Structure 1
Amino acid sequence: MEGYKRVELLLIFITISTVATTSANPWLPMEGNNPGSYCLSWRLAIETNNVRAWRTVPIQCMRYVEVYMLAGQYDRDVQLIVEQIRVYLNEIVLPGDGMDAWIFDVDDTCFSNVFYYRLKRYGCDPYDPTGFRTWAMKGASPAIQPVLELFNELIETGFKVILVTGRDEETLGQATRENLHNQGFTGYERLIMRTAENKKHSATIYKTTIRKQMMEEGYRIWGNVGDQWSDLQGDYSGNRTFKLPNPMYFVP
């Protein structure tokens, strides 16, 4: 009888534990217990574009984003994406007419602004256009190494690499070119920046317009790489798109 009672008590304990676990709401921010669990879910949601138009990183996720960006996981994620691009490249046979193109975004695609965003609490502070312009004019953004290696491989293979950025041509043109050159991004076909003509367009509309012009010029866009969904959405996005991680800011 005592054995049966012990089993009965064990079953009651398991039942109570199960009810308590399933009744908790897993989507509430876990401020005291484990904020990392919430922040991991939040980052997955923004990277898959299920959470859109977010303005700042949740304050409880500042440390999480810092660790993600600087402790190695971001680098491993980028490396894995670049490896997948190489797998795709092995499937492509170039016609050899010089019209095979790849598009790259610039900020946090070719080079990283993580040291600027460290001063902005890794995205917990609202976007500061003046502060970012001051940073960009220094030309101090370091290359994202796996992307630089891919960039050089594409050029050596015979692709025309076209850089399309939302930076302003008039104020940041020279600084951007020098930053790219100093970090090893040389030999690209062209660098396209915003002008007065498209200054008020959203990133998606602006970049779609640029890609349309490229297609009309006869380019075949085999791939498109960016850290924002607005780099990749819209028409003429290319045969394949590859999204790099960026939990620090959102560009509509």
Structure 2
Amino acid sequence: MDSRSFLLSISLILFIITLISHASAQSIIQIPSHKTQITGDRKIRVDDGMYCDSWRFSVETNDAGIWEYVPSRCAKYVQDYMTGDRYLSDSEVVSSYALNFAKNVNVSDDGKDAWVFDIDETLLSNLPYYEKNGFGSEPFIEESFDEWVDLAEAPALPASLNFYKELKQLGFTIFLLTGRSEDQRNVTDKNLLFAGYSGWEKLFLRGLSDQGKPADLYKSEKRSELVKEGYKIHGNSGDQWSDLVGFAVAERSFKLPNPMYYIP
């Protein structure tokens, strides 16, 4: 090979190396931040958006088990979900399935066909509070939340309010079963009326003997009281699995979305 050919070959090689380096740099710039997620024996790399979507799926299906607060990398994701159209749409879809079921119940005239509702994040939305407290990404402070409850200003979750009114038209007897304490009865009544709810048969709150009980046990016991009184619980709506499971469960239970907190 003569010197001219040798120089041309070297130039071509350098040109190819430059192109490869440039392409690699571009690829690095375009790749979003990734973290390693271990799934069984597999290790996969996922960006925050994909991870948080999978995390929300896991907590909604109760696969995640007990968790204390939203992972820091998902705080913005939960904020966008709760304040965006997706949360409202998910709530509407759940309520539409519940209404379709309710319309197929043969409601009698004896007033014993019942539907049970949780309150917080089921009938009432506490988003104004959580907007100021990290959407569940910060440790829960009971005293601070109680101050918010005392304002009695929580708005209705629109899908739930519409569904509630439909149930009244269908002739269901409605019971409200909340983890709030008995000393919050007056402000809870006031808030429900302020948000547009009315005509419930009874509002259950935690009395002294209920304090410290796991939510699933407490709510099961209250539902059991209804069953003993002759009520048939056709439906139960709540944002926590502990609203729905246990004993004296409803014929159908409907889980509303809530990736902000978990109550065992």
Q: TM-score, normalised by structure 1?
A: 0.87
Q: Which residue of 2 aligns with 1:125?
A: 138
Q: Does residue 199 in structure 1 map to residue 211 in structure 2?
A: yes
User: 2:116 is paired with a residue of what secondary structure?
Assistant: strand
Q: Does residue 213 in structure 1 map to residue 206 in structure 2?
A: no
Verify the 8 A CA contact 2:114 2:232 in the aligned structure 1.
yes
Distance 1:174 1:90 in 2: 32
User: 1:39 is paired with a residue of what secondary structure?
Assistant: helix
How many residues align? The count is 226
Letter in 2 for 1:197: S
Verify the 8 A CA contact 2:103 2:170 in the aligned structure 1.
no
Q: Which residue of 1 aligns with 2:55?
A: 42
Q: Which residue of 2 aligns with 1:232?
A: 244
Letter in 2 for 1:192: F
User: 2:107 is paired with a residue of what secondary structure?
Assistant: coil
Q: Which residue of 1 aligns with 2:154?
A: 141
Q: Which residue of 2 aligns with 1:167?
A: 180
Q: Does residue 70 in structure 1 map to residue 77 in structure 2?
A: no
Q: CA deviation at 1:29?
A: 9.1
1:67-102 Cα deviation digits (max 9, x unpaired): 101111000000011111121122211122110000
Q: Which structure shows the bigger proportion of residues in strand conformation?
A: 2
Q: Does residue 99 in structure 1 map to residue 112 in structure 2?
A: yes
Distance 1:26 1:40 in 2: 16
Identity %: 37
Letter in 1 for 2:251: N
Q: CA deviation at 1:34?
A: 2.6
User: 1:178 is paired with a residue of what secondary structure?
Assistant: helix
User: 2:200 is paired with a residue of what secondary structure?
Assistant: coil
User: 2:204 is paired with a residue of what secondary structure?
Assistant: strand
Q: Which residue of 1 aligns with 2:193?
A: 181
1:124-160 Cα deviation digits (max 9, x unpaired): 1111110110110011111001101111111121110
Moved over 2 A (4+): 24-30
- Which runs of no fewer than 5 residues in structure 1 stay unpaired? 1-23
Q: Which residue of 2 aligns with 1:12?
A: none
Letter in 2 for 1:116: Y
Distance 1:131 1:25 in 2: 35
Verify the 8 A CA contact 1:29 1:38 in the aligned structure 2.
no
Q: CA deviation at 1:48?
A: 0.3
Q: Does residue 84 in structure 1 map to residue 94 in structure 2?
A: no
Q: Does residue 108 in structure 1 map to residue 95 in structure 2?
A: no
Verify the 8 A CA contact 1:111 1:141 in the aligned structure 2.
yes
User: 1:92 is paired with a residue of what secondary structure?
Assistant: coil
Q: Which residue of 2 aligns with 1:57?
A: 70
Instruction: Decide whether aligned partners of structure 1 residues 35 and 101 sit closer, same or farther in structure 2, where only a CA change above 3 A counts.
Output: same
Q: CA deviation at 1:248?
A: 0.2
- Which runs of no fewer than 5 residues in structure 2 stay unpaired? 1-35
Q: Which residue of 1 aligns with 2:3?
A: none
Q: CA deviation at 1:25?
A: 5.0
How large is the Cα RMSD of the aligned pairs? 1.5
User: 2:123 is paired with a residue of what secondary structure?
Assistant: coil
